[in-house]
A = this chain, B = another copy of it.
Amino acid sequence: MRIPILKLHDCLLISIQWELDDATALQFQEDLLHKIHETSANGVVIDLTSIEIIDSFIAKVLGDVINMSKLMGAKVVITGIQPAVAITLVELGITLSDVMTAIDLEKGLEKLQKELGD
């Protein structure tokens, strides 16, 4: 199963609405990087509102995909991080310190478009 990636103007939107298994997470990483390449997207919003827990493997994949997207020239905003997910990320040492975050998808998209100068 794959996670759908929506293209809206020059941004990609992804809403992760269920706990990912390892294979889906890796597939998502690959799909997102291909989609950035294919669409020349400048920004990516990953919405985690519906994710209530995250394990260390998924947290690592998420950290990796953010860094990879940046290398490819896309700005990343993570939205809707739940308290338990924030706790897990920090405890795992994944502080996402140089990643933009926002409370929800709308705010994330606004932030990204401002940043991209739209």
**Which residues of A does B touch, CB under 8 Å?**
1-9, 13, 15-18, 47, 105-106, 109
Contacts and interface: CB of A to CB of B under 8 A. Distances in A.
6 tightest Cβ-Cβ pairs between the two chains A and B: A4-B17, A4-B15, A6-B15, A1-B1, A9-B106, A8-B105
Given A2-B18, A5-B17, A8-B106, 13 more contacts: A1-B1, A2-B17, A4-B4, A4-B16, A5-B15, A6-B6, A6-B15, A6-B47, A6-B105, A8-B13, A8-B105, A9-B106, A13-B13
Number of copies: 2
11 contacts: A2-B18, A4-B16, A4-B17, A5-B15, A6-B13, A6-B15, A6-B47, A7-B106, A8-B109, A9-B106, A13-B13
Nearest to A3: B4
A6 B47 CA distance: 9
Contacts of A109: 8
Contacts of A8: 13, 105-106, 109
A76 to B, nearest CB: 17
